[in-house]
C-alpha cells in the first residue's frame, strides 16, 4: 500500500516536471514569435512562471517521495519565483513604454499613454539623460504612425513568412 502511494506520487511529480518543461518551451516559442516587447513579456512572465512553478513543485514531490526529504530551498524558491517574476515583467514593461519602445502596428489600444496624458505625467522618459535622448516627445508609442516602426522590428516580424512560403 505504502509502495503504491509512493509510486503514484513519484509518477505524479515526474509528470509535473515534464508539464513544466513543456510550458517553458511554449513560453520560449512565444518569446521568439510574438511581434513586440509587450506581447513578448506576456509570454515571458506568465507561462514561464507557471512552468518553473510546476517544475519546482514536481522536484519537491519527487524528493519527498523518493528520498523522504522535504527540501526547504525548493519551497522558498517556489514562493520567491511566484512573487518576483510578475514584478520583474511589470518593471520591464513600464521601462520599455517610458523609453518609447514602439508598439506592434496591430495594437488597438494604449491605455498607459492615455492615462499619462490625462494625468499630465511625462511618459516617454523625461527623467534620465539617456532616456530623454532616446525618446523625443513626438516619439510617443501611442502617436506612432503604422509605417514608422524601426526596420529591425519590421524585419523580425516579417522574417518567418518567406521561410514558410519556401517550404
Partner 1 sequence: MQTILLIAMILLALAISGCLYRVLKGPSIADRIAALDTIGVNVAAEVAVSGAYTRSTAYFELVLLIGILAFLGTVALARYMERGRVLDAPDDPTDG
Residue 98 binding partner 1, by CB under 8 A: yes
141 within 8 A of 113, measured Cβ to Cβ? yes
CB of residue 100 to partner 1, shortest distance in Å: 10
23 within 8 A of 47, measured Cβ to Cβ? yes
What is the per-residue binding string for partner 1 in 140-159, x denoting contact by CB under 8 A?
Answer: ----------x-xx--x---
Tell me which of 5, 94, 158, 160 binds partner 1, using CB under 8 A. 94
Residue 1 or 67 with smaller CB distance to partner 1: 67
Rounded alpha-carbon distances, angstroms, from residue 158 to 33, 35, 133, 153:
10, 9, 29, 9
Residue 78 or 164 with smaller CB distance to partner 1: 78
Tell me which of 125, 140, 141, 144 binds partner 1, using CB under 8 A. 125
Burial of 46 (0-12, 13-18, 19+ CB in 10 A): middle
Residues 6 or more apart from 167 whose CB is under 8 A from it?
none
Return the range that interacts with partner 1 (CB under 8 A); candidates 58-66, 105-113, 136-144.
58-66
d(CA 11, CA 23): 18
Burial of 135 (0-12, 13-18, 19+ CB in 10 A): buried
Q: Give the binding site for partner 1 (CB under 8 A).
A: 10-11, 14-15, 17-18, 20-22, 24-25, 27-29, 31-32, 37, 40-41, 44-45, 48-49, 51-52, 55-56, 58-59, 62-63, 66-67, 69, 71, 73-74, 76-77, 80-81, 84-85, 87-89, 91-96, 98-99, 101, 125, 127-131, 150, 152-153, 156
Amino acid at each position: 500500500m505504502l509502495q503504491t502511494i509512493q509510486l503514484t506520487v513519484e509518477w505524479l511529480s515526474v509528470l509535473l516536471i515534464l508539464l513544466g518543461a513543456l510550458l517553458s518551451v511554449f513560453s520560449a516559442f512565444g518569446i521568439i514569435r510574438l511581434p513586440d516587447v509587450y506581447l513578448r513579456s506576456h509570454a515571458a512572465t506568465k507561462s514561464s512562471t507557471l512552468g518553473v512553478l510546476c517544475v519546482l513543485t514536481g522536484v519537491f514531490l519527487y524528493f519527498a517521495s523518493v528520498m523522504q526529504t522535504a527540501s526547504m530551498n525548493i519551497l522558498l524558491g517556489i514562493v520567491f519565483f511566484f512573487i518576483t517574476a510578475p514584478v520583474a515583467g511589470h518593471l520591464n514593461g513600464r521601462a520599455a513604454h517610458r523609453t518609447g519602445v514602439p508598439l506592434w502596428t496591430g495594437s488597438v489600444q494604449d491605455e498607459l499613454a492615455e492615462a499619462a496624458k490625462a494625468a499630465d505625467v511625462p511618459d516617454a522618459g523625461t527623467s534620465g539623460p539617456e532616456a530623454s535622448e532616446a525618446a523625443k516627445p513626438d516619439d510617443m508609442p501611442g502617436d506612432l504612425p503604422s509605417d514608422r516602426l524601426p526596420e529591425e522590428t519590421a524585419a523580425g516580424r516579417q522574417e518567418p513568412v518567406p521561410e514558410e512560403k519556401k517550404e
